[in-house]
Amino acid sequence: MKLLPALRLFAFCALFPGFSTSPGKAADLLTPGEPVVLSGTHGKFDFLTVDAAKRRLLAAHPGNASLDVFDLDQRTLIKSVATGVAQSAVVDEQGGRYYVAVSKPPQVVMLDSTKFEEVGKVSLGGPADLSAFDARSGTVYVGHDDGKELWVVDPAKQKVIATVALPSDAPEDLGFDATGQRLFQALKSSSVITVIDVAANKVTASWPTAPAQAPHGMAMLPKEDAFLVAGGNGKLVLMSQKDGHVLSSTDIPARVDQIAYDAETHRVYCASGTGKIAVVGIENGVLTTLGEVASSEGCHSIAVDPKTHTVWIAYAKGDASYVRPFAAVK
Tens of pLDDT, residue by residue over 298-324, are: 999 999 999 999 999 999 999 999 999
Instruction: Provide the percentage of residues in the chain whose pLDDT is more than 70.
Output: 92
Which residue spans within 199-234 are E strands per DSSP? 202-208, 215-221, 226-231
Backbone angles phi, psi at 305, to 5 degrees: -80, 115
Whether the pLDDT of residue 9 is over 50: the answer is no
Alpha-carbon distance of 277 to 86, in angstroms, equals 23
Whether the pLDDT of residue 10 is over 80: the answer is no
Q: How confident is the model over 231-240, as pLDDT tens digits? A: 999 999 999 9
Q: Is 258 exposed, middle or buried (0-12, 13-18, 19+ CB in 10 A)?
A: buried
Whether the pLDDT of residue 86 is over 80: the answer is yes
Alpha-carbon distance of 119 to 80, in angstroms, equals 16
Alpha-carbon distance of 111 to 167, in angstroms, equals 32
Whether the pLDDT of residue 198 is over 80: the answer is yes
Q: How confident is the model over 233-283, as pLDDT tens digits? A: 999 999 999 999 999 999 999 999 999 999 999 999 999 999 999 999 999
What's the predicted TM-score (pTM) here? 0.92
Backbone angles phi, psi at 26, to 5 degrees: -65, -25
Domains of the chain: 20-328 (2.130.10.10)
Alpha-carbon distance of 20 to 220, in angstroms, equals 29
Alpha-carbon distance of 277 to 5, in angstroms, equals 27
pLDDT at 26: 57
Alpha-carbon distance of 91 to 9, in angstroms, equals 44
Confidence of residue 329 (pLDDT cuts 50, 70, 90): confident
pLDDT at 28: 77
pLDDT at 21: 35
pLDDT at 25: 56
